[in-house]
Amino acid sequence: MATRQAQGQDVFQILKQDHRTVTSIMEEIRDAEQAQKEALCSRLENELNQHMNLEEKYVYPILLDFEELSELIQDAYTDHDDLKDILEQMADQDVGSEEWESNFLALEDAKEDHVDTEENEVFPQAIELLSQDQVRQITDQIMSEKQRAPQTAQGKISQPRQPRAER
């Protein structure tokens, strides 16, 4: 079992590092001067989109097969939809405006709730449920995609989304 957990940490450590990166960018945005916020917001959007797309493409579909995780993964898809909706609203607003600031706070709250659920509920269960081969495959796929991301539209990895009823 120890080997399984050690192996399982690979993909989940990558995803946790993504969470830390997003949190760090959000802290930078909060502390930044107006002129810096736009560039940081673009970076935040890229990081969030890449992370969500990788989870939706490689992690969530496999975890949906486990009855123990099905409801949590459905909620995770919904969380992603909510985060994407907030990002879209922010893109249409002036950075630093009252509406933008309100949405930024909502984004932070939604992200924190999502991260808390993933790191404290989803990931520990997934580590126990996935085989070493599954973990290795997911890790390899995510690492490969992340290495290609700088050459593509960073963070804009297009993945057709399943309608909610099919998830």
Cα–Cα dist 80/114, whole Å: 8
The answer to whether residue 159 sits within a structural domain is no
Burial class (CB in 10 A: 0-12, 13-18, 19+), 166: exposed
**78 is in which domain, residue-wise?**
2-149
Res. 161: pLDDT tops 80? no
* Tens digits of residue pLDDT in 147-156: 887 644 444 4
Q: What is the mean pLDDT of residues 159-165?
A: 42
* Tens digits of residue pLDDT in 67-117: 999 999 999 999 999 999 999 999 999 998 999 999 999 999 999 999 999
How many domains are contained in the chain? Answer: 1
pTM for the full model? 0.82
Q: Are residues 48 and 81 in contact, defined by beta-carbon separation less than 8 angstroms?
A: no
Cα–Cα dist 102/34, whole Å: 16
Cα–Cα dist 136/133, whole Å: 5
